[in-house]
């Protein structure tokens, strides 16, 4: 058996009502707290009010879209200026990624481009981030337990990661009640992002026994609960399943990597104003099908092909099915949930060459179960338009 590493947040609190512990946990770190929220700061009012009632001084930083380098650099400056000793993010993946980046840039001064992957100098971060608490309000990215933050660089039209073990949250609080009432469209795209982040680690060349167990638990939860959560935003069991599956996906991807869905999604997100989860949802059925076909042609005896059959059984709940049933399930689910094609976000045939060129160098591609050719990547994009 090959060796492996497993790293995650210092502490995970999961379950209905667990968010009530957030004020005390934040105050244990500092009485000066920077709170990062999504585009609707009112969703974090409960936390700010509780902190201020106990004498804390809060700096509120809302992020209205996926964070860029300038935003997190400004946030880090505000954290230092206000002498904040803790960072708390309440929101979706953008808010949590922003909080992680602010927390580590507040302690590692200098230009963020010193530390960024791909387009930056890629220098290692050397100082532990400010204590960071992640509280997701969607079930999608699993960012509350990962060691990187995805940032947009508008002037370069790319998305890149700030990445370090020093960025792992001190505490992750996953309370499904915070996702109650989330709109169906948001539930669908974040939920399919969560599914992607279970399917890709399960097929990854870096999969290990711990990540396999997480994926085997999470995939069936999404299969039985995603549509229900979209139909009824207050279905407690469905929301609980989605929250736990998203957490499992974050734990899995942080330790086994991803694949071609995310390899393609990164350049698309940099070139077009498209939500990350929506792009992953549009790509997932087509990438799965392309991987399946490539494995059947070039790696028929490998373990990855067996795993595609297992995904089919997990998605359908039928012991007699295999990988082809997974392809059908993914396509039908995207159709039922009305996932927009990539063309909805402005992607056209003339853009596909540039996307493929950028995607082939993406870090996520290194974990894909088989190397896909440029022609195969191009065909995926054509199918997803």
Examine the pLDDT at 158 and tell me if it is beyond 90: no
Say how far apart CA 98 and CA 106 lie, in whole Å.
Answer: 12
Tell me, what's the pLDDT at 118? 80
Specify the CATH architecture of the domain 11-178: 3-Layer(aba) Sandwich (3.40)
Q: CA of 147: how far to CAs of 35, 203, 217, 344, 354, in Å?
A: 19, 21, 22, 31, 28
Q: For 12-24, what is each residue's pLDDT tens digit?
A: 999 999 999 999 9
Residues of the chain with CATH 3.40.50.1970: 11-178
Least confident range of 110-124, 127-141, 307-321: 110-124
Tell me, what's the pLDDT at 2? 78
Q: Is the pTM here over 0.75, yes or no?
A: yes
Tell me, what's the pLDDT at 98? 97
Tell me, what's the pLDDT at 64? 87
**Rounded-to-10 torsion of CA 289, 290, 296, 301:** -100
Pairing of strands 148-153, 158-163: antiparallel
For residue 145, the 8-state DSSP code is G
**In the block, which residue shows the tokens 């004020």?**
23
Q: For 325-340, what is each residue's pLDDT tens digit?
A: 999 999 999 999 999 9
For residue 15, the 8-state DSSP code is S
Query: pLDDT band for position 126 (50/70/90)?
Result: very high
Tell me, what's the pLDDT at 101? 97
CATH topology of domain 183-384: Dehydroquinate synthase-like, alpha domain (1.20.1090)
Tell me, what's the pLDDT at 20? 97
Q: For 272-302, what is each residue's pLDDT tens digit?
A: 999 999 999 999 999 999 999 999 999 999 9
Q: Whose CA is closest to 367, among 202, 249, 205?
A: 205
Say how far apart CA 40 and CA 26 lie, in whole Å.
Answer: 21
Q: What is the mean pLDDT of residues 174-200?
A: 97
State percent of the chain over pLDDT 70.
Answer: 100
Tell me, what's the pLDDT at 40? 87
Say how far apart CA 270 and CA 347 lie, in whole Å.
Answer: 12
Say how far apart CA 141 and CA 314 lie, in whole Å.
Answer: 21
């Amino acid at each position: 058996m090959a060796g492996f590493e497993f790293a995650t947040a210092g502490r995970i609190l999961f379950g209905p009502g667990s968010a009530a512990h957030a004020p005390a946990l934040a105050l244990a770190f500092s009485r000066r707290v920077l709170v990062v929220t999504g585009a609707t700061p009112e969703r974090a009012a409960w936390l700010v009010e509780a902190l201020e009632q106990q004498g804390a001084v809060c700096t509120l930083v809302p992020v209205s879209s996926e964070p860029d380098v300038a935003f997190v650099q400004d946030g880090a400056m505000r954290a230092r200026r206000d002498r904040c000793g803790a960072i708390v993010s309440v929101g979706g993946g953008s808010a949590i990624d922003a909080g992680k980046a602010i927390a580590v840039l507040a302690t590692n001064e200098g230009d963020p481009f010193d530390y960024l992957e791909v387009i930056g100098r890629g220098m290692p971060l050397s100082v532990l981030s400010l204590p960071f608490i992640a509280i997701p309000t969607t079930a999608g990215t699993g960012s509350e337990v990962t060691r990187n933050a995805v940032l947009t660089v508008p002037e370069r039209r790319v998305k890149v990661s700030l990445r370090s073990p020093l960025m792992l949250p001190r505490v992750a609080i996953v309370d499904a009640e915070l996702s109650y009432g989330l709109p169906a469209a948001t539930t669908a795209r974040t939920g399919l992002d969560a599914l992607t982040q279970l399917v890709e680690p399960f097929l990854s060349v870096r999969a290990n026994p711990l990540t396999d167990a997480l994926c085997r638990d999470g995939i069936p939860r999404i299969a039985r609960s995603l549509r229900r959560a979209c139909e009824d935003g207050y279905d407690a069991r469905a929301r609980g399943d989605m929250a736990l599956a998203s957490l499992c996906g974050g734990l899995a991807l942080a330790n086994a990597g991803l694949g071609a869905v995310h390899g393609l999604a990164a350049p698309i997100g940099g070139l077009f104003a498209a939500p990350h989860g929506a792009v992953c949802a549009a790509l997932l059925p087509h990438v799965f099908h392309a991987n399946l076909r490539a494995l059947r042609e070039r790696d028929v005896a490998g373990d990855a092909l067996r795993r595609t059959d297992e995904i089919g059984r997990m998605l359908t709940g039928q012991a007699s099915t295999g990988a082809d049933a997974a392809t059908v399930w993914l396509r039908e689910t995207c159709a039922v949930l009305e996932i927009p094609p990539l063309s909805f976000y402005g992607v056209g045939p003339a853009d596909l060459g540039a996307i493929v060129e950028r995607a082939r160098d993406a870090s996520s591609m290194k974990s894909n179960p088989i190397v896909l050719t440029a022609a195969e990547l191009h065909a995926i994009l054509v199918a997803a338009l």
